[in-house]
Structure 1
Amino acid sequence: MFPTPKPVLTPNTYAYESEPMVKPTGFREYDARWLFQKEINLMGVQALGMGLGTLMHEMGVKPEIVTGHDFRSYSSSIKLALVSGLMAAGIKVHDIGLAMSPMAYFAQFALDVPAVAMVTASHNDNGWTGVKMGVNRPLTFGPDEMTRLKEIVLGAKFDLKGGGAYVFVENFPEVYIKDLTNRPKLKHPIKAVVACGNGTAGAFAPKILEALGVEVVPLDTELDHTFPKYNPNPEDMEMLHAMRDAVLEHKADVALGFDGDGDRCGVVDNTGEEIFADKVGVLLARDLAKIYPNSTFVVDVKSTGLFATDPELIKLGVKADYWKTGHSYMKRRVNETGALVGFEKSGHYFFNKPVGRGYDDGLVSAIAVLDMLDRNPGKKLSELREALPKTWSSPTMSPHCADEAKYGVVAKVVEHYEKLAAEGALVTGQKIRDLVTVNGVRVTCEDGSWGLLRASSNKPELVVVVESPVSEARMREMFKEIDGVLRQHPGIGEYNQTI
């Protein structure tokens, strides 16, 4: 019988090498993430594989799964431990090797396999690992599945049928690359900085974009799992600033930046202006709504209010559906509503039929930006950006807060603003016009300025975003307001970045 996982074990001991360690907080809302060797060991990963296989049997899913791993020094060993657990539970594993997360999602369709388990820590710092999982393409697990998986793993309630199998899928990247490039080349010349932060996308993105006729200026595309320049995260200003500098140096038309597992894309325009991903989403919505009028776009609660107020989108009959932040929530909402695209401020975009297959792929997003530029040959990206109604927006800002405490803090802040709204009290001198509590709390004042607080789904952090259509000063007032309420609670640490 496989041992019951322990929440903590001391490294460099007999117990650490002989028992599984799995910290319970690693099971998050829609995927799993741990600090490797501190919160999970290889036997713990093996237990996770057994648990996932057991859950697949419970759900009546065909016992076959696609797996791959991102470019970190330890990801391959973690994947092999996961594979051993899946096989012990009687699952046939199709291993596509080194891959981006969207390549694993694509493999579910290309190989006709129902389930996926992609070993990746996405944009998290080195030291983190995790698994993105799903059994119903193109969807990934939500809270219900993650809760049940946690129960199975931590309780060692494994159904070890045996009889699993392993197949390595040779040259699978070529199948993925062909799928994205088997289309007409761009009609007009475009010079693009392609930034990968030395992460996994560096092995694939330049080749794909060059095949579409793009003049590629590579930036940190060499694979290096130490991430020597910066963490590959196109929400972080450090990466965006590096992209800006490269655009200006090479006089490029655009910079496209990819995160650690290639499912997100960040954009910098020809003037070096960093366009936050939600604003890029508005530009893409304008472009696509001309081809597909009266479309619905799902938008996460961190995103700009322009999806609902932009005159051009209103004229094209667009409906904005603000929903929970998180790739699993967004994917599911897009799938259920039949929306054309889901846009998340983090840079996860979900292109549904007929544009895509419903999952998030940074390369598909990059190609959509390039197609938009190609359909507007007389305009620079900066001109398209400047045509949007002006708003002042913050980046995503995350103060540290322990996993065990963050949801409680958010619940108290939600309660605080619900009470103010019920009493008709003022926030920054104005009444509350709207309160959205589908995911944390988004407080909108009478002049349209708003602030959001929610718990991060994949790190011990909170998330704060603010925006104002009035002025930078109003944006800063909203930040001071949200941060002031937040600081009334203990255990709130420093921000990773701020305005």
Structure 2
Amino acid sequence: MFPKPLPQLTPNTYEYETLPLVKPTGFREYDARWLFEKEINLMGVQALGLGLGQLLHELGTKPEIVTGHDFRGYSSSIKYALIAGLMAAGVKVKDIGLALSPMAYFAQFDLDVPAVAMVTASHNDNGWTGVKMGAARPLTFGPDEMSRLKDIVLNAKFETRSGGSYEFIEGFGQRYINDLTNRPKLTRKLKVVAACGNGTAAAFAPQVLEGIGVEVVPLDTNLDHTFPRYNPNPEDLKMLHAIADAVRESGADVGLGFDGDGDRCGVVDNNGNEIFADKIGVMLARDLSALHPGATFVVDVKSTGLFDTDPVLRANGVKADYWKTGHSYIKRRVKELNALAGFEKSGHFFFNAPVGRGYDDGLVTAIAVLDMLDRNPAKSMADLYSDLPQTWGTPTMSPHCADEIKYDVVERVTQRFKDLQAQGGQVAGQAIRDLVTVNGVRVVAEDGTWGLVRASSNKPELVVVIESPVSEARTREMFKAVDDILRENPEVGAYNQTF
């Protein structure tokens, strides 16, 4: 009988080594994240494996699963603890070793395995760990599955079963590289900065880019799990600035940056200008809708309003569907609507056939960007960017807010804007034209300037994004208006970055 997990244990004690620790808040909306050793221990990870195995049996999913781990100093040990729990639950495990998250998703198709459990903290700082899980390719768990998994694990509602097994799939990384490069080479000569932040993508991205015919300028492509320069996160201005410097120094045509588990891609143009991912999404939607008129694109609520208003997209008959932020939500929506692609401001892009298989892969995104340049040989990346109608937007800004209270705070802020609208009040000096509440609250002023507040799905933070089609001054006015309402809540702390 495996012990019931506890929400808190003191490290360096007998109890810590003999009982499972699993902090309940680690079960997020669509994946799991904990501070390793502080919020989960190895026995807790075993309990997670047992619980995941139990859930697969409950869902009627064939009890076979792909697992891999990212390049952090502790990820391998966490994966093997997870495997121990899965095998005890009667699950056949196929281990692809060191991997990107999209490599694990690809393995579900390539190995014909229904389920996945990828050990990764994604772009979170060192110290964090987590698992991205799914039981129906190309989808990953949503709130329903995560809620049931949480109940199973925290209440030890799992049982041991026979039939579990382990198989290591040797050389799977090369199979993934071959899948991405088994295509015609680019016809345009391109020099590309490939920035990996010393994370897992360093083992794969340069080879893939070279394999499709580009000249690669490597940036932080030696594996180093201390992340000595910056955390590999292409939404982080520090990483984007480093890519921009490398583009200018090398004269590259474009800079591409990959996050810690390789499912996101950030882009810097040939002039060294950092392009937020939602604008890259508009550019790709323009390119792809020229080939596929009338296509549907799913975009998250953090993204630019241009998906609705861009004249080129309108001329191409594009249908834009604004949906909840989060890789699991967008992935499901893309599948439900049979959309050509889904775009998140965070850089998670989901390409359906004929471009991809429906899951988020930073390298597939990079290839799509390079194909766009290849189809527009007379234009630089900066030209394609300048072709877009101008808007003034902020980076994703995240004020600290504890996991236990962040959703309550967002509810309060949402209600505050609802009350303001009902009373005929103003935001940033104008009447409220619209409130979008599918995920947090997106408040839109009369001139189209908008501000978003939502709870982060994977960190103890809120998420704030502002955009104006009018001016930078209006962006700043909206930011102040949104921040003033946020500051009515004492639980909201300092921002990780502003603009």
Question: Normalising to structure 1: TM-score of the pair?
Answer: 1.00
Post-superposition CA distance 1:81-132 (Å, at most 9, x none): 0000000000000000000000000000000000000000000000000000
Map of 1:390 onto structure 2: 390
Higher mean Cα deviation, 419-428 or 323-332? 419-428
Structure 1 residue 424, shift from structure 2 partner: 2.1
Map of 1:263 onto structure 2: 263
Question: Does 1:78 find its partner at 2:75?
Answer: no
Once residues 428 and 215 of structure 1 are traced to their aligned partners in structure 2, the CA distance between those partners, rounded to angstroms, is 47
Once residues 414 and 196 of structure 1 are traced to their aligned partners in structure 2, the CA distance between those partners, rounded to angstroms, is 37
Structure 1 residue 172, shift from structure 2 partner: 0.4
Once residues 470 and 325 of structure 1 are traced to their aligned partners in structure 2, the CA distance between those partners, rounded to angstroms, is 25
Map of 2:45 onto structure 1: 45
Report the AA paired with residue 28 of structure 1.
R
Secondary structure, in 3 states, of the residue corresponding to 1:454? strand
Once residues 496 and 429 of structure 1 are traced to their aligned partners in structure 2, the CA distance between those partners, rounded to angstroms, is 27
Map of 2:439 onto structure 1: 439
Post-superposition CA distance 1:202-242 (Å, at most 9, x none): 00000010011100000001000000000000000000000
Post-superposition CA distance 1:176-208 (Å, at most 9, x none): 111100000000100000000000000000001
Post-superposition CA distance 1:346-368 (Å, at most 9, x none): 00000011211000000000000
Secondary structure, in 3 states, of the residue corresponding to 1:388? coil
Post-superposition CA distance 1:291-314 (Å, at most 9, x none): 000011000000000000000100
Structure 1 residue 174, shift from structure 2 partner: 1.1
Map of 1:490 onto structure 2: 490
Once residues 339 and 211 of structure 1 are traced to their aligned partners in structure 2, the CA distance between those partners, rounded to angstroms, is 28
Give the RMSD, CA atoms, in angstroms. Answer: 0.5
Structure 1 residue 163, shift from structure 2 partner: 2.4
Structure 1 residue 159, shift from structure 2 partner: 2.1
Map of 2:243 onto structure 1: 243
Map of 2:144 onto structure 1: 144
Once residues 365 and 355 of structure 1 are traced to their aligned partners in structure 2, the CA distance between those partners, rounded to angstroms, is 10
Structure 1 residue 139, shift from structure 2 partner: 0.2
Structure 1 residue 493, shift from structure 2 partner: 1.1
Map of 1:25 onto structure 2: 25
Once residues 424 and 184 of structure 2 are traced to their aligned partners in structure 1, the CA distance between those partners, rounded to angstroms, is 57
Question: Does 1:452 find its partner at 2:452?
Answer: yes
Once residues 384 and 145 of structure 1 are traced to their aligned partners in structure 2, the CA distance between those partners, rounded to angstroms, is 41
Report the AA paired with residue 246 of structure 2.
A
State percent identity of aligned pairs: 75
Map of 2:168 onto structure 1: 168
Secondary structure, in 3 states, of the residue corresponding to 1:444? strand
Map of 1:88 onto structure 2: 88
Map of 1:157 onto structure 2: 157
Map of 2:310 onto structure 1: 310
Structure 1 residue 478, shift from structure 2 partner: 0.7
Once residues 339 and 212 of structure 1 are traced to their aligned partners in structure 2, the CA distance between those partners, rounded to angstroms, is 26
Secondary structure, in 3 states, of the residue corresponding to 2:490? coil
Once residues 286 and 163 of structure 1 are traced to their aligned partners in structure 2, the CA distance between those partners, rounded to angstroms, is 50
Secondary structure, in 3 states, of the residue corresponding to 2:404? helix
Post-superposition CA distance 1:10-53 (Å, at most 9, x none): 00000000000000000000000000000000000000000000
Once residues 173 and 323 of structure 1 are traced to their aligned partners in structure 2, the CA distance between those partners, rounded to angstroms, is 33
Once residues 61 and 471 of structure 1 are traced to their aligned partners in structure 2, the CA distance between those partners, rounded to angstroms, is 52
Secondary structure, in 3 states, of the residue corresponding to 2:396? coil
Secondary structure, in 3 states, of the residue corresponding to 2:405? helix
Structure 1: give runs of 5+ residues left out of the alignment: none
**Equivalences for residues 231-380 of structure 1 within 5 A:** 231-380=231-380
Once residues 81 and 477 of structure 1 are traced to their aligned partners in structure 2, the CA distance between those partners, rounded to angstroms, is 50
Map of 1:226 onto structure 2: 226
Structure 1 residue 422, shift from structure 2 partner: 1.9
Secondary structure, in 3 states, of the residue corresponding to 1:498? coil
Secondary structure, in 3 states, of the residue corresponding to 1:66? strand
Report the AA paired with residue 338 of structure 1.
N
Structure 1 residue 420, shift from structure 2 partner: 1.5
Structure 1 residue 162, shift from structure 2 partner: 2.6
Once residues 422 and 312 of structure 2 are traced to their aligned partners in structure 1, the CA distance between those partners, rounded to angstroms, is 34
Once residues 420 and 494 of structure 1 are traced to their aligned partners in structure 2, the CA distance between those partners, rounded to angstroms, is 25
Higher mean Cα deviation, 297-306 or 416-425? 416-425
Once residues 334 and 432 of structure 1 are traced to their aligned partners in structure 2, the CA distance between those partners, rounded to angstroms, is 30
Structure 1 residue 423, shift from structure 2 partner: 2.2
Secondary structure, in 3 states, of the residue corresponding to 1:481? helix
Report the AA paired with residue 456 of structure 2.
S
Runs of 4+ in 1 over 4 A off after TM superposition: none
Once residues 118 and 360 of structure 1 are traced to their aligned partners in structure 2, the CA distance between those partners, rounded to angstroms, is 13
Once residues 131 and 440 of structure 1 are traced to their aligned partners in structure 2, the CA distance between those partners, rounded to angstroms, is 24
Secondary structure, in 3 states, of the residue corresponding to 1:369? helix
Structure 1 residue 434, shift from structure 2 partner: 1.1
Once residues 57 and 383 of structure 1 are traced to their aligned partners in structure 2, the CA distance between those partners, rounded to angstroms, is 52
Report the AA paired with residue 207 of structure 1.
Q
Map of 2:210 onto structure 1: 210
Question: Does 1:109 find its partner at 2:120?
Answer: no
Map of 1:474 onto structure 2: 474
**Equivalences for residues 191-202 of structure 1 within 5 A:** 191-202=191-202
Structure 1 residue 144, shift from structure 2 partner: 0.4
Once residues 309 and 191 of structure 2 are traced to their aligned partners in structure 1, the CA distance between those partners, rounded to angstroms, is 32
Question: Does 1:9 find its partner at 2:9?
Answer: yes
Secondary structure, in 3 states, of the residue corresponding to 1:403? coil
Once residues 483 and 160 of structure 1 are traced to their aligned partners in structure 2, the CA distance between those partners, rounded to angstroms, is 50
Report the AA paired with residue 211 of structure 2.
A
Once residues 313 and 199 of structure 2 are traced to their aligned partners in structure 1, the CA distance between those partners, rounded to angstroms, is 35
Map of 1:190 onto structure 2: 190
Structure 2: give runs of 5+ residues left out of the alignment: none
Question: Normalising to structure 2: TM-score of the pair?
Answer: 1.00
Secondary structure, in 3 states, of the residue corresponding to 1:398? coil
Report the AA paired with residue 152 of structure 2.
I
Report the AA paired with residue 365 of structure 2.
S
Report the AA paired with residue 150 of structure 2.
K
Structure 1 residue 492, shift from structure 2 partner: 1.1
Once residues 463 and 162 of structure 2 are traced to their aligned partners in structure 1, the CA distance between those partners, rounded to angstroms, is 43
Structure 1 residue 431, shift from structure 2 partner: 1.0
Post-superposition CA distance 1:301-331 (Å, at most 9, x none): 0000000000010010001100000000000
Secondary structure, in 3 states, of the residue corresponding to 2:95? strand
Aligned residues: 499
Secondary structure, in 3 states, of the residue corresponding to 1:438? coil
